Each structure stands twice: as structure tokens, then as C-alpha cells.
Amino acid sequence: MEHKKRRIYHVDGDYLEVVYYYDEEVGQHFGEYPDFEETPRYTPNGRPWVNVTIVGCPHADEDYDDCGSCQYMRREQAMDLIGVCMNDVYRRKEKEYKMEA
């Protein structure tokens, strides 16, 4: 059994690699997803990457205030645990993210 796998996510013109490690005890691979609240990451279009577990957004559905159930979250595949927030409120202006490059 391969103990390490990699997946490259592609959303909004950005590529992000996640490494998955095999847990022998459980018999499954688990991803080492970035913490986008601690270390923000933006796509080339200025949109923030988010985890489904981020909570507290005032633009999310009233019943669930997490990114995973938000209409603005775009994932590469339906069940992905990370994606990009497409809400223009959180989009960085071009001059903000080009200066960091």
C-alpha cells in the first residue's frame, strides 16, 4: 500500500498541491490541508482559498455559516474539502496581490 499520495487542486486559475498520508490504523488516506485562516492564499484572480470548516461568514446561508455550505464556494470536485470563495466582497483588488508577487 502506498503511504503517501498527492493531489493537485485546480480552481480559478490556481493550482494547489495537497499531500495525503495513509493511516494504517484506520486504513485510509488523510490530507494535510492548508489552514487558509492562518496562512491566506489567493488565486491569480484575487479570490481566497477556503476550507469547508471555516465559519462565521455573514454572506453564508443563515442555517449554516460555514464555507462548505455556502453558495459562493467553488470546488474542483463536489466533495472536496477546500475550494475558492467566489464572493466579490472577499476578492483582493489587482494592485493588492500584484504588489506581493
Give tens-digit pLDDT for 35-80.
999 999 999 999 999 999 999 888 877 777 889 989 999 999 999 9
Could you give the C-alpha distances from 67 to 6, 58, 84, in angstroms and in order?
Answer: 24, 11, 9
Predicted structure pTM score: 0.84
**Higher model confidence: residue 34 or residue 65?**
34
Integer Cα distance of 84 and 67 in angstroms:
9
Residue type for position 89: V
The pLDDT value given to residue 97: 55
